[in-house]
Structure formats: C-alpha cells, structure tokens
Amino acid sequence: MRSRGILWIFVLPGLLLYAGFFLYPTLSGLFYSFTNWDGISSSFRMVGWKNYNSILDSIVFRKAFWNNVKFMAAVVTAQTVISLILALLLVRNRKSHVFLRALFFFPAILSSVSVGLIWSFVYDPAIGMINALAQHTGLGSLALNWTGDRRIAIYSIAAVQVWAHAGQMMIVFIAGLHSIPPELNEAAAIDGGGRWRVFRSITWPLLAPSATIVLAYTTIQSFKAFDLIFTMTDGGPNFSTEILTTYIYHLAFSSYAFGEASAGSALLLVLLSVLTFLQYKALRAGRISY
C-alpha cells in the first residue's frame, strides 16, 4: 500500500496539469455554452440550447462547415498520398535519404504563422513568386489571385498545409515501414509477387497503425488550421476560407458571443471525435493478422 501511495505522488503533478489545462477549460466551455456570457461581464444567465440552435441555423456556420469539409478532404487525401510516396522512396537509411528526409521535414518545425506569412508573399498576385514565374515562362494564364479568388482560395491554403506537414507524416510512415518484418517482402518476392502486389497485399495492410495515426492527426490538423487561415485570409474573401475555428474565433472576439463560441467548440469536439472514430474503425477493418 505504501508503494502504491508513492506512485500516486509521481502521478499527481501530471494529473494536476491535465486537470488545470485541459479538463477544467473543457468543462468550463461546456458550461458557458449554455449561457449568454459575453466574455467580459461577471453576470450571465442560462439560455439552455439556444446557442446550439443559433449556431446550427447560422448561414456562416454552414458555410464554414462545408469549407472545412473541402479543406479536410483536400489535405487528408494529398498529404496522405504524398507522405506515403515520400516514405516509400526514402525508407532506406542512406545518407542521401536521411538528408532528404530532413529537408522535407524542415517546414514542420516552422510556426504556422511564419508559414502563412511566407506563402502570403508567394501567392501575392502582384509580386508573388508563382505568378512571376508563370509570367516569365509564357504561362500567364496560370497567374491567378490565389487567395483572393473565392473559388480556389480554400484549396490554395490546403496546398500550403500539405507543404508544411507532408514531411512530418512521412516520418510516421517510415517508422511503420521499418516495423514490417523484411522476411514477408522477401517471401512475396520469391513467390513472384510484383511491387504493386506486395504493396497492396502486405505493405499497406501492415501500415494500418501508421495510417491510422496519419489520418487522425491530419483530420484534426485540418479542423484546427486556425493560425494558417487567420494569417493568410482571416476567413475571406466573402467567408470562402472561413472554417469552424475561425468562425468560433470571430464569434468570441468580434461579436463577444462567448456562449455561442463555446457551443461551437463543443460541436467541433464532437465532430472530431466521430470522424476519428470512423477512420479508426475503417482502417482497423482493413488490417490483416500476422
């Protein structure tokens, strides 16, 4: 019993930090989501489900939700495919491969605000590198207003998100590839299996744990890309890049509707939990036992 009490002493600091910085804010947010608190005054009153009904009836919320879905679909698809291809190409521990891994991983260590500022200049329609390169190579038709055109703005930012984090997810896939027993690939090669057959029947199923991490993390990233979008477009033009996190931010700090913002945060938490669970179940169903 004494040894168990000593173990609790070591666990207690972590529990206190978790309770103070995660559990308490989460429960407070859920409480305030049922109030009309403006974030400033000390008084408020309970309004029940009014905040949730107001958000679900909001045209801007629905637009932000579908923008988030488009952003997530583009980022999850492109980032997963690109990071997997990079991992397959750079899986060996050669010096050149290690150098290229570090090069592709480098954007992940930059802050999202820095990335957003850099790409704001790259996308600038007047002095941006992409448009200047298109003009100088005779491809002037490709010189677009990348973040000012509401038809393509969300996808332009999705490309930046992929650029910044594909190298990070590549490392996860490389770790998964190194965990696959080499005898399986050797046996498949002896049996006459081609590269695509080996990948489809052995490599990809055994990468399911890594793929689960990549998909879950990328999905959460896509719904929490506040700093990148806030830096580059602040949700514009005409709400075409507004996502759920920027919508919640504008509710709280532009409209001072902290009760509604808390309700939006609660809905976002539920949505992310459901999406992550569905991804986990889908990938788990595709695993093979060995």
Query: Tokens in use for 280?
Result: 């986990």
- Classified as helix, coil or strand, 230 is helix
Whole-angstrom distance, CA of residue 272 vs CA of residue 281:
14
Q: What is the pLDDT of residues 224-249, one digit of tens each?
A: 899 999 999 999 999 999 999 999 99
The pLDDT score that the predictor gives to residue 261 is 95
**By C-alpha distance, which of 169, 168, 176, 174 is closest to 105?**
168
First to last CA, the chain: 40
pLDDT higher than 50, residue 290: no
The structural domains of the chain, ordered by start, are 57-285 (1.10.3720.10)
Tokens 């698809």: give the residue.
77
Contact between 201 and 188 under an 8 Å Cβ cutoff? The reply is yes
**By C-alpha distance, which of 19, 118, 65, 112 is closest to 242?**
65
Q: What is the pLDDT of residues 64-76, one digit of tens each?
A: 999 999 999 999 9
pLDDT higher than 50, residue 268: yes
The pLDDT score that the predictor gives to residue 258 is 94
Whole-angstrom distance, CA of residue 133 vs CA of residue 122:
10
- Classified as helix, coil or strand, 12 is helix
Which pTM value belongs to this model? Answer: 0.87
Phi and psi (nearest 5°) for 46? -75, 135
Query: Tokens in use for 50?
Result: 């009014």
Query: Tokens in use for 125?
Result: 């329609």
Q: What is the pLDDT of residues 154-171, one digit of tens each?
A: 999 999 999 999 999 999
Q: Looking at residues 76-101, what average pLDDT do you find?
A: 94
Residue 128: DSSP 8-state: -
**By C-alpha distance, which of 275, 171, 270 is closest to 215?**
275
- Classified as helix, coil or strand, 91 is coil
Q: Looking at residues 178-203, what average pLDDT do you find?
A: 79
